[in-house]
Chain A
Amino acid sequence: MFYIHCPYCGELREEEEFHPKGQAHLARPADPMACTDEEWGDYLFFRDNPRGIHHELWLHAVGCRKFFNITRHTVSYDILETYMMGEQPSFTAEHPQGNSPEAALRQAQVAQQAGVHA
């Protein structure tokens, strides 16, 4: 059971309030009509599927109903951070210890997530 910190509500809530919505930071091509079949297929169907740190889009479905992002480890299931739409992740595959000034703050927010292991 995940215990997730919603960055908009500022509260820790149970997993059942949320829905995972797939990979985060997918940019729709600015001019879809100008895309080749290759580019459009890649945008529609091809997703990152790492064994490790993954950035995902979640919806606080029965809370504030806002979308936000989670950085999560797909093997240990540890949640490393949650952050608002439009923000960038502090924890990435290249910088698993965090690389931005917000890293410590975000980590402190989610450090309270008892029992994040499913």
Chain B
Amino acid sequence: MQRYSGFGLVKHALSHHENWQRQWRNPTPKKQYDVIIVGGGGHGLATAYYLAKEFGVKNVAVIEKGWLGGGNTARNTTIVRSNYLWDEAAALYEHSMKLWEGLSQDINYNVMFSQRGVLNLGHTLQDMRDIQRRVNANRLNGIDGEVLDAKGVQALVPIMDCSKSARYPVLGASWQPRAGVARHDAVAWGFARAADAHGVDILQQTEVTGFKIRDGQIYGVHTNRGDIEAKTVGCVTAGNSGVMAGMAGIKLPLESHPLQALVSEPLKPVLDTVVMSNHVHGYISQSDKGDLVIGAGIDGYNGYGQRGSYPTVEHTLQAIVEMFPIFSRVRMNRQWGGIVDTCPDACPILSKTRVKGLYFNCGWGTGGFKATPGSGHVFAASLAKGEMHSIAAPFSIDRFHTGALVDEHGAAGVAH
């Protein structure tokens, strides 16, 4: 892999930028690998990267039916934060946050991680009590957080309507300064390039059509480009996880829903942080390009259509205009939907299954992007050692039968 650097940029300028190396190869599938990752999104590519780099498993294939990062990795609102309530979830997301902080250097790819802070607004007394509880829990877990009052919020975001005459007046917020945004495409491409440099085979336009299972042990997958063998298979397929699990005869407690987001036309810099509100139900940030990136809740019904309904868009924009009357005449540029796999307790599933050697990393629902490096890291550790990593262990699928749920609806609720 040619390293990217300022010097390299100058060098390639001399040849009119015509000789840049391809970011990753396009290999033909081998007959056999040590580990197969199904799904070439952020989490899958991160898993492959950490497997090769940290855990010495270099004979790895990532199998993707479409193109890299073409699913939810490209369809989220790029928010990264770790202010979760419960110890188990806080450990997982904070592990990820720490990896984010050094990620661009680590994979030699600018993921444009910008720690511009995230505000979670409170509009009712109960909101504020919940915020205080969550911030206190965060601090006990070593995660930065502050409780702000309405004045503090107004000082951070002068354009927001924090007046008492608002329909749902802002009473305060939780504030995580280390949180922020990152460029989602760069995350997928950066991990793909770095994994490829460690010898990982990235197989695009290769669809897994079935699992090869004998005596309760997995030994490969069927694909549209022939059978590929591996004794360890990690399935990281987000909205399609239920379908994949069905191929292995397993049922998951997931429901796939469309989740929409939209961006406006590019504006001059006007909003330099991320604002989320569970109560009026919307979240917004401004990208480096200048467009407002807006999202909200899922459509209530199951769907795989990668498009959302108009009423949801309407409710989202009502919430944004309620908070930011200044945006009432901003025109929206694009709108899209991704398919999120929601879990009953709003926490992911990182788990072994009753098929030996088949692992699932799914159920991230509406908030998987922020966890990309951490999820990849602990999942890679689990695949390499055959035992779930201590941070991943509480997210076993068994919790839906033992009752040891990690209820993060409060912290995950709307604010993804």
Residues of A within 8 A of B (CB): 1-2, 15-16, 19-20, 22, 37-38, 40-42, 44-47, 49-51, 54, 56, 72, 74-77, 118
Cα-based distance from A51 to B341 in the complex (angstroms)? 13
The answer, among A38, A47, A54, A76, for a CB contact under 8 Å with B401, is A38
B243 lies within 8 A of A51 (CB): yes
The stretch among B36-44, B162-170, B303-311, B369-377 that forms the contact with chain A is: B303-311
B303 lies within 8 A of A49 (CB): no
A76 to chain B, nearest CB (A): 7
Contacting residues of chain B (339-363) with chain A, CB-CB under 8 angstroms: 344
> C-beta contact mask, B300-332 vs A, less than 8 Å → 1, else 0?
111111011111000000000000000000000
Cα-based distance from A50 to B307 in the complex (angstroms)? 17
Chain B residues, Cβ within 8 Å of A42:
251, 401
B401 lies within 8 A of A49 (CB): no
Residues of B within 8 A of A (CB): 240, 242-243, 251-256, 258, 299-305, 307-311, 344, 400-403
A49 lies within 8 A of B252 (CB): yes
A73 to chain B, nearest CB (A): 9
Give the nearest-CB partner of A39 in chain B.
B401
The answer, among A44, A49, A54, for a CB contact under 8 Å with B254, is A49
Given contacts A16-B311, A37-B401, A118-B309, 4 further A-B contacts (CB under 8 A): A40-B401, A45-B253, A45-B400, A51-B243
B400 lies within 8 A of A72 (CB): no
Cα-based distance from A37 to B303 in the complex (angstroms)? 29
Chain B residues, Cβ within 8 Å of A22:
255
Cα-based distance from A74 to B403 in the complex (angstroms)? 30
B401 lies within 8 A of A41 (CB): yes
B303 lies within 8 A of A77 (CB): yes
User: What are 27 of the A-B contact pairs (CB < 8 Å)?
Assistant: A1-B309, A15-B311, A37-B401, A37-B402, A38-B401, A40-B401, A41-B400, A41-B401, A41-B403, A45-B400, A46-B251, A47-B254, A47-B255, A49-B242, A49-B254, A50-B242, A51-B240, A51-B242, A51-B243, A56-B302, A74-B256, A74-B302, A75-B304, A76-B305, A118-B299, A118-B308, A118-B310
Chain A residues, Cβ within 8 Å of B242:
49-51
Cα-based distance from A42 to B308 in the complex (angstroms)? 29
Cα-based distance from A23 to B307 in the complex (angstroms)? 21
Give the nearest-CB partner of B307 in chain A.
A118
Chain A residues, Cβ within 8 Å of B310:
1, 118
Chain B residues, Cβ within 8 Å of A72:
301
B90 to chain A, nearest CB (A): 23
Cα-based distance from A49 to B254 in the complex (angstroms)? 7
B305 lies within 8 A of A118 (CB): yes
The answer, among A19, A47, A74, for a CB contact under 8 Å with B303, is A74
Cα-based distance from A7 to B237 in the complex (angstroms)? 37
A70 to chain B, nearest CB (A): 9
Q: Considering the complex of A and B, which 8 residue pairs feature the smallest CB-CB distances, nearest first?
A: A49-B242, A41-B401, A20-B301, A45-B253, A20-B300, A45-B400, A118-B309, A45-B344
B171 to chain A, nearest CB (A): 29
Cα-based distance from A49 to B342 in the complex (angstroms)? 11
Chain B residues, Cβ within 8 Å of A77:
303, 305
Give the nearest-CB partner of A14 in chain B.
B311
Cα-based distance from A38 to B243 in the complex (angstroms)? 21
Chain B residues, Cβ within 8 Å of A45:
253, 344, 400
Give the nearest-CB partner of A41 in chain B.
B401
The listed residue with most B CB atoms (<10 A of its CB), out of A2, A20, A72, A74, is: A74
B407 to chain A, nearest CB (A): 12
Chain B residues, Cβ within 8 Å of A54:
302
B305 lies within 8 A of A1 (CB): no
Give the nearest-CB partner of B315 in chain A.
A16
Chain A residues, Cβ within 8 Å of B300:
19-20
Given A38-B401, A118-B308, CB of A47 within 8 Å of CB of B301? no
